[in-house]
Amino acid sequence: MRPKITSCKSVARSLRYNEQKVDRGTAECLTAANFLKDRERLTVEEKLHCFERRMQLNERVSTNLHITLNFDPRDNLSNERMRQIAKMYMDDIGFGRQPYLVYRHHDAGHPHCHIVSTHIRSDGSPIDLYNIGRRESLNAGNLSVYLLRRSGRTGLFLLVFHTILGRLRQMDDFEEFKTRSLTIETKRKRILVAIDGEVSVLESPLEYRIHAGKLKVIAPAKNS
């Protein structure tokens, strides 16, 4: 699975984009999570009203969340399985209690779904977008991978500049996805790699894999 996270200033536009595909028969709404009504009873106006009410709680936040989960063309996913994956993903990035809609699209050569949500909580506070991609646990067997959208010296300078000024936005400056293994190929045979703060010289390609359940953690009991 390869997620794509984008910010959108118009939740109405994102909602209309998906609902128009539903009307044309090229998409279907799989989930309406944390709404006052069940998915089958919700109208488009009620979906939009729910998001707009959240936005009114914090007028300083002008963007909403539009996520695409893309799967391998060989994946034979039922609607129920895609619904489960979308729920696990939203829980994993800290949006499990937010209102969100999951639309499955049938107009591409691979299975995929679109998720529309907001990062404004019910009390008006915004969800810290730096936590997108964080893991609730370490035993899920996933690597969280972050890709810089900026490249070159100028891009890195702007990234540091945004960080210092507190303007760093993960959805604009990073691309994030999860995987169990990763291969990085470079033009150079040897490259400098930072590992736990120490710089080492490694040969390309770099191979990363995660072994689920291998880390043992001693923690106090919940009742202690």
Q: What is the pLDDT of residues 80-132, one digit of tens each?
A: 999 999 998 888 788 999 999 999 999 988 999 999 999 899 999 888 765 55
**Helix-helix angle 11-24:44-57, to 10 degrees:** 170
* Residue 223 in domain: no
pLDDT of residue 25: 96
Give dist(CA 94, CA 135) in Å, integer.
9
Query: At which of 71, 106, 127 does a domain end?
Result: 127
Boundary-marking domain end, from 73, 94, 127: 127
- Looking at the structure of the chain, the number of domains it has is 2
Instruction: Give the number of other CB atoms < 10 A from CB of residue 151.
Output: 8
Written as tens digits, the pLDDT of the chain (224 aa) is 788 888 788 899 999 999 999 999 999 999 999 999 999 999 999 999 999 999 999 888 777 889 999 988 888 899 999 999 999 888 878 899 999 999 999 998 899 999 999 989 999 988 876 555 444 455 567 777 777 766 666 766 766 666 655 555 554 556 667 778 888 888 888 888 877 667 789 998 988 888 776 766 666 666 65
Q: What are phi and psi of 42, to 5 degrees?
A: -80, 135
User: To 5 degrees, how large is the angle CA 19–CA 24–CA 25?
Assistant: 95
Angle, alpha carbons 107-175-91 (nearest 5°): 75
User: What predicted TM-score, i.e. pTM, was given to this entire model?
Assistant: 0.61
Domain extent for 91: 2-127
